[in-house]
Amino acid sequence: MLALSPGLIDLFHIPTLILAWAFTLALTAGPLLLKFLNDEPVARCAVLQAAASFITTGCWLTFGSAAINAHEHGLISLPMSILAVACMFAAAAGSSFLIERRCSDQQAGARNLHESDKI
Protein backbone atom coordinates (compact mmCIF):
# COMPACT_ATOMS: atom_id res chain seq x y z
CA MET A 1 0.00 0.00 0.00
CA LEU A 2 1.33 3.41 -0.96
CA ALA A 3 1.55 6.06 1.73
CA LEU A 4 2.75 9.62 1.69
CA SER A 5 6.08 10.12 3.31
CA PRO A 6 6.17 12.37 6.38
CA GLY A 7 7.93 14.98 4.23
CA LEU A 8 4.96 15.25 1.86
CA ILE A 9 2.40 15.31 4.66
CA ASP A 10 4.22 18.27 6.20
CA LEU A 11 3.47 20.29 3.06
CA PHE A 12 -0.16 20.65 4.13
CA HIS A 13 -0.47 22.98 7.13
CA ILE A 14 -3.86 21.96 8.53
CA PRO A 15 -4.84 25.16 10.43
CA THR A 16 -4.07 27.28 7.38
CA LEU A 17 -6.07 24.95 5.16
CA ILE A 18 -9.06 25.02 7.50
CA LEU A 19 -9.02 28.82 7.48
CA ALA A 20 -8.59 28.94 3.70
CA TRP A 21 -11.51 26.57 3.06
CA ALA A 22 -13.73 28.40 5.58
CA PHE A 23 -12.91 31.76 3.97
CA THR A 24 -13.59 30.29 0.52
CA LEU A 25 -16.93 28.90 1.68
CA ALA A 26 -17.96 32.24 3.17
CA LEU A 27 -16.88 34.11 0.07
CA THR A 28 -18.61 31.85 -2.46
CA ALA A 29 -21.72 30.76 -0.58
CA GLY A 30 -22.36 33.88 1.51
CA PRO A 31 -24.17 35.91 -1.17
CA LEU A 32 -26.40 32.96 -2.09
CA LEU A 33 -27.24 32.36 1.55
CA LEU A 34 -28.22 36.01 1.99
CA LYS A 35 -30.47 35.81 -1.08
CA PHE A 36 -32.06 32.63 0.21
CA LEU A 37 -32.65 34.09 3.68
CA ASN A 38 -34.24 37.21 2.15
CA ASP A 39 -36.68 35.01 0.19
CA GLU A 40 -35.18 35.99 -3.16
CA PRO A 41 -35.00 33.38 -5.91
CA VAL A 42 -31.67 31.66 -6.42
CA ALA A 43 -30.94 30.34 -9.92
CA ARG A 44 -29.47 26.90 -10.50
CA CYS A 45 -26.59 28.43 -12.40
CA ALA A 46 -25.76 30.63 -9.42
CA VAL A 47 -25.58 27.55 -7.21
CA LEU A 48 -23.45 25.75 -9.83
CA GLN A 49 -21.11 28.72 -10.12
CA ALA A 50 -20.79 29.03 -6.34
CA ALA A 51 -20.08 25.30 -5.91
CA ALA A 52 -17.51 25.30 -8.71
CA SER A 53 -15.86 28.43 -7.34
CA PHE A 54 -15.73 26.90 -3.87
CA ILE A 55 -14.09 23.71 -5.10
CA THR A 56 -11.63 25.30 -7.52
CA THR A 57 -10.59 28.09 -5.16
CA GLY A 58 -10.18 25.68 -2.26
CA CYS A 59 -8.11 23.28 -4.33
CA TRP A 60 -6.05 26.13 -5.73
CA LEU A 61 -5.28 27.38 -2.21
CA THR A 62 -4.57 23.87 -0.94
CA PHE A 63 -2.25 22.69 -3.69
CA GLY A 64 -0.79 26.14 -4.31
CA SER A 65 0.30 26.42 -0.70
CA ALA A 66 1.62 22.85 -0.89
CA ALA A 67 3.69 23.78 -3.96
CA ILE A 68 5.12 26.82 -2.20
CA ASN A 69 5.83 24.76 0.93
CA ALA A 70 7.54 22.14 -1.25
CA HIS A 71 9.87 24.85 -2.54
CA GLU A 72 10.53 26.03 1.02
CA HIS A 73 11.40 22.48 2.06
CA GLY A 74 13.71 22.11 -0.95
CA LEU A 75 11.66 19.42 -2.68
CA ILE A 76 11.11 21.40 -5.91
CA SER A 77 12.71 24.43 -7.50
CA LEU A 78 11.22 27.92 -7.46
CA PRO A 79 10.35 27.91 -11.20
CA MET A 80 8.56 24.56 -10.77
CA SER A 81 6.63 25.94 -7.80
CA ILE A 82 5.59 29.02 -9.80
CA LEU A 83 4.63 26.84 -12.76
CA ALA A 84 2.50 24.58 -10.56
CA VAL A 85 0.60 27.52 -9.06
CA ALA A 86 0.18 29.13 -12.49
CA CYS A 87 -1.21 25.90 -13.98
CA MET A 88 -3.70 25.56 -11.13
CA PHE A 89 -4.75 29.19 -11.60
CA ALA A 90 -5.21 28.64 -15.34
CA ALA A 91 -7.33 25.54 -14.71
CA ALA A 92 -9.49 27.44 -12.21
CA ALA A 93 -9.94 30.37 -14.60
CA GLY A 94 -10.74 28.05 -17.52
CA SER A 95 -13.36 26.10 -15.60
CA SER A 96 -14.95 29.34 -14.42
CA PHE A 97 -15.13 30.56 -18.01
CA LEU A 98 -16.76 27.32 -19.19
CA ILE A 99 -19.39 27.42 -16.45
CA GLU A 100 -20.13 31.09 -17.17
CA ARG A 101 -20.51 30.30 -20.85
CA ARG A 102 -22.89 27.42 -20.16
CA CYS A 103 -24.97 29.41 -17.71
CA SER A 104 -25.23 32.48 -19.93
CA ASP A 105 -26.81 30.27 -22.64
CA GLN A 106 -29.33 28.88 -20.15
CA GLN A 107 -30.09 32.32 -18.70
CA ALA A 108 -30.59 33.77 -22.19
CA GLY A 109 -33.02 30.94 -23.00
CA ALA A 110 -34.93 31.51 -19.77
CA ARG A 111 -35.00 35.27 -20.42
CA ASN A 112 -36.40 34.69 -23.92
CA LEU A 113 -39.01 32.33 -22.48
CA HIS A 114 -40.14 34.93 -19.94
CA GLU A 115 -40.28 37.67 -22.60
CA SER A 116 -42.50 35.51 -24.80
CA ASP A 117 -44.91 35.13 -21.84
CA LYS A 118 -45.35 38.91 -21.70
CA ILE A 119 -46.57 39.14 -25.30
User: What does DSSP assign to residue 43?
Assistant: -
Is this model's pTM higher than 0.75 or not? Answer: no
Three-class SS state of 97: helix
Which class for 24: exposed (0-12), middle (13-18), buried (19 or more C-beta within 10 A)? buried
Residues 52 and 46: their CA atoms lie apart, in Å, by 10
* pLDDT score recorded for residue 2: 45
pLDDT tens, residue order, the chain (119 aa): 445 555 667 778 888 889 989 998 888 888 888 888 888 888 888 888 888 888 888 888 888 888 888 888 888 899 999 998 899 888 888 887 887 787 876 655 555 545 555 55
